[in-house]
Amino acid sequence: MSRPVPEWIGKHHGVNIPPRVRQRVYDRDNGVCHLCKMAIKSGETWHADHVIALINGGEHRETNLAPAHGHCHVGKSARDVKEKAKVAKIRGKHIGSIRPKQSIKSAGFPASPKSPRIDKAALPPLPLPPLMRLAR
């Protein structure tokens, strides 16, 4: 039996996962992709995937890593980003940092009945204003 090894924890998110840790992660999960549950064949591209994505609050540490096929990982990363965006949008609306683009439309005032049309030709001419009467 091998001696116990302390868990690897990245000092910050930018730290590369050392090859020995990748190997331990692979061996711990018996070389099985944690996304599709299929064996990773020798020579196949695989990534040490963050089970809980870093952008969604996951930690950069060995216990949060699992092997995943390259092609399985690409899809998961896209879903993680989508989830992050959705959570941020919902939270933004909840705390009010994102304002609704338009106000809620009301039904409006009831339409008033149309006033009857007036035939202007039938009306007597309007009296001129006082200044125009003086000019004549």
> Closest Cα partner for 21 from 71, 64, 59?
64
Q: Shortest approach of Zn ion to residue 33 CB, angstroms?
A: 3
Report the C-alpha gap between 130 and 135 in whole angstroms: 9
The answer to whether the beta carbons of residues 54 and 79 sit under 8 Å apart is no
Confirm or reject binding of residue 36 to Zn ion (CB under 5 A). yes
User: Least CB distance from residue 66 to Zn ion, whole Å?
Assistant: 10
Which region, judged by CB under 5 A, interacts with Zn ion, from 19-27, 44-52, 64-72, 112-120?
64-72
Pattern 67-106, Zn ion, x by CB under 5 A: --x--x----------------------------------
Tell me how far apart the alpha carbons of residues 35 and 47 are, in angstroms, rounded to a whole number.
11
